[in-house]
Structure 1
């Protein structure tokens, strides 16, 4: 009886060992096929431009190899929003350096005028002069915008990165599915990426004078 049990156990173990490699290979093959499909889709996603030969760079492919479509859209939206903020920041940086400012008072209660902000030694010093209430207003407005953008992307089902249903100039009146809009979206993305690098360099130079060995405002 014991011999029979030993024979049955050995047969079961042999069967498991025989089938395990095949199952592993099938699983690995299936994973490779899925990875190939995902890589192909990444290359066609918005943000892969001519500078990279219409191919996702190697580092980007590694970082996004397990990314789901929803997460990829989230990252695309995040990049566009950061780029837009950086473009405003570079513009504001140059405006402050040029001494251009609004008339009147920024804060009557604090006794701070726009001229005071403009006369600060650097944009970083100007930021520190903004009252706490001013930052609170900025956070509230930004929070409302983020809530609207989140609802647009996840509840209203917009699959177009950067489309937050706010277009006062009517650029998207003919929709997004046309060659002109594709070029405009790509230009915005490139300008946003350049602005992010620019504002980072300018701020670094303000914090560490001489860190940026090229012309800057």
Structure 2
């Protein structure tokens, strides 16, 4: 299993150049007070809520994130990243359920693997190589997003960089990548500081809602009735497998 995983992730090295020596650290600008101000500036409940005082801790010190400000940067970046993944998962779940409601064939990229199955079954039925392609692509993008290859001007989010920032990827891999992940077709105009700040708040709120939403989908699919709002919706998928298997001793990445 370790050998398979290593072989699958090895091509990620092709995306980035050797890492140059780290630049001098810049001062982290976000403090706990800044975090409280950001949350309190957003509409709706619950306001600033941190019962474990994670924003005032150095709980990540054992991983080299040894200041309160660096911990805040890590948590801020993690929330934004998880929110983006959850938004994609939420929409992907709906797209994966479309064949169940419409009676049509499964949409790409699931076509050919399973038709009319639930999103969970679509993953279960994907062959090893298809899953490997997904993990390789994610690993490559994650490696670059963490600063591997020393992108010009990149500062890590635990060392003063902007949480949620992903460095431009256009022109990388020997010039083979011809677009950036954000706005690949240059549709969006350049925004001012005020518009960017408002957009970031919207992204955080939408990401939080999506995280709750995708967990609600998984819960209702596994335990019908556990989410009353979703219970009884025609065509909502039911899954007999174990949606929590990634957190169990039986987990196998390519099972």
Q: TM-score, normalised by structure 2?
A: 0.56
Structure with larger Rg = 1
Distance in structure 2 (CA, Å) of the matches to 1:49 and 1:140: 36
| Alignment check: 8 A CA contact 1:48 1:56 kept | no
Larger RCO of the pair (alpha carbons < 8 Å, separation 6+): 2
Moved over 6 A (4+): 152-155
| Alignment check: 8 A CA contact 1:83 1:195 kept | yes
Tell me how far 1:49 sits from its aligned partner.
Answer: 2.6
Stretches of structure 2 that go unaligned for 5 or more consecutive residues are: 1-29, 59-67, 100-105, 169-181, 237-255
Tell me how far 1:179 sits from its aligned partner.
Answer: 0.9
For 1:156, the equivalent position in structure 2 comes to: 154
Question: In 2 relative to 1, CA 58–196 (structure 1 residues): closer, same or farther, beyond 3 Å?
Answer: closer
Tell me how far 1:116 sits from its aligned partner.
Answer: 4.8
For 2:122, the equivalent position in structure 1 comes to: 126
CA root-mean-square deviation: 3.1
Distance in structure 2 (CA, Å) of the matches to 1:46 and 1:148: 29
| Alignment check: 8 A CA contact 2:32 2:72 kept | no
For 2:72, the equivalent position in structure 1 comes to: 72
Tell me how far 1:48 sits from its aligned partner.
Answer: 6.3
Stretches of structure 1 that go unaligned for 5 or more consecutive residues are: 1-36, 107-112
Question: In 2 relative to 1, CA 118–190 (structure 1 residues): closer, same or farther, beyond 3 Å?
Answer: farther
How many residue pairs end up in the alignment? 167
Distance in structure 2 (CA, Å) of the matches to 1:197 and 1:38: 27
Tell me how far 1:160 sits from its aligned partner.
Answer: 1.5
Question: In 2 relative to 1, CA 48–142 (structure 1 residues): closer, same or farther, beyond 3 Å?
Answer: farther
Q: TM-score, normalised by structure 1?
A: 0.65
Tell me how far 1:194 sits from its aligned partner.
Answer: 0.5
